[in-house]
Amino acid sequence: MRINELGIVITYKCNSQCRMCNIWKRSEGDELEAKYFSRLPEDLKIIGLTGGEPFLREDIVEVYRLIRKQCPAAKITLGSNGMATDLITRYMLDILKFDKNANVIISLDGIGKMHDRMRGVEGAFVRVMHTIESLKKIGLRGLGLNFTISEENLGEMKDVYDLSRKLNLKISFVLAHNSEIYYRTDNKPLENLTLLGAQLNYIIGKELGSFNIKRWLKAYYLGGIFDFAKYGRRRCKCSAGLFTLFVDANGDIYPCLKLNKRIGNLKDFDFEKIDKLQMRRWTGQCPDPCWLGCSVYPVLRKRPYLALGWLVKAKLKSVFGLRTLDG
Ligand code: SF4
Ligand code: SF4
């Protein structure tokens, strides 16, 4: 089993003040020198570049170029808050000159004032809309949205989902989590599970109604959000440390973005010598499990059959007009 998916924080600089994340309060300005990204395994398949706000890293184009050169087959996605429209557009124009397959996922946590409130910045929603328009204009094909679910904004999931369909953009949803090594927050578990269930039932119904296996797997993942919020358990084991890893802004490497078990630094790490038994032990005893997409989709990509039983039942329920979730 080889590592083939990596999440990499390329900077902690951030121009947002999100309610569910404390990264913008971090004082350290660590940024791993760009040259070390040439040490990534060349057969990586999926790479997520994130922050902070990754477009605030001044040499982002150089970082991206090095990663693309080192990992020619990887799908590379930049996760952005979409605030700095001009900067993002300028850098993406440069990146698209040598990589037409680049992807950008922009955070959108509500409509209008709700998004502004969640992101702590007046006018954030309008800025995101401008960024989407601008990135479409320059021909970025791989553009999508991400909604972070918390108690305050969960009532707008359906509206943001509908907006994403209208804009013809893919959308993912993720529960706000805590992480002592990354976000450093104290998000509370969701309480209004009835509303969560109603919002998810709507979105799952739409995804199951498609003729697209990826969207069915997304429905399975979304159903898992409800299970996790209600029972605090995962539907399937995670792949942390087995074929996925997380790299901090200073190059420190962890099995995932939550588990505080540093296993080395990109400056001198040997990806061939990961102790997989140790990884299994650690993740098997994970003190604070998650249901983050980055811990679910890698498993589903390798073992899509894990979703089969749930999907058959959910499809049948949707055919008979029944709700998929009991929330
Ligand atoms: S969620 Fe992202 S944009 Fe918001 S403060 Fe954290 S790093 Fe910045
Ligand atoms: S379940 Fe635990 S070990 Fe696995 S990805 Fe989530 S936080 Fe990490």
Quote the pTM value.
0.96
Residue 152: pLDDT above 80?
yes
What pLDDT does 185 receive?
79
d(CA 220, CA 226): 10
Instruction: State pLDDT tens for residues 270-322.
Output: 999 999 999 999 999 999 999 999 999 999 999 999 999 999 999 888 878 88
The DSSP result for 112-131, as a single string, is THHHHHHHT-TTHHHHHHHH
- Nearest CA among 100, 158, 167, 91 for reference residue 130: 167
Residue nearest to atom 7 of ligand 1 (CA): 52
Taking a C-beta distance cutoff of 8 angstroms, is the pair 238, 259 a contact? Answer: no
Q: Which ligand is nearest to the CA of 289?
A: 2
CB 154 within 8 A of CB 199: yes
- As a whole number, mean pLDDT of residues 130-142 equals 98
pLDDT per position as a tens digit, 64-90: 999 999 999 999 999 999 999 999 999
Instruction: Examine the pLDDT at 96 and tell me if it is beyond 80.
Output: yes
Locate the ligand 1 atom nearest the alpha carbon of residue 17 and give its number.
Answer: 5
Among all bound ligands, the one having the nearest atom to the CA of 108 is 1
What are the Cα distances from residue 71, in Å, to 37, 99, 142?
A: 10, 12, 18
Ligand 1 centroid – CA 80 distance (Å): 8
Provide φ and ψ at 147, rounded to 5°: -115, 125
Contacts of 8 by beta carbon, 8 Å cutoff, 6+ apart: 37, 47, 48, 49, 50, 246, 247
Q: Closest residue (by CA) to atom 1 of ligand 1?
A: 21
- Gap between the Cα atoms of 305 and 309, Å rounded: 8
Q: How confident is the model over 51-60, as pLDDT tens digits?
A: 999 999 999 9
Q: Which of 10, 11, 13, 14 to mutate to test the pocket of ligand 1 (most atoms within 8 A of CB)?
A: 14
Mean pLDDT for 239-246 is 94
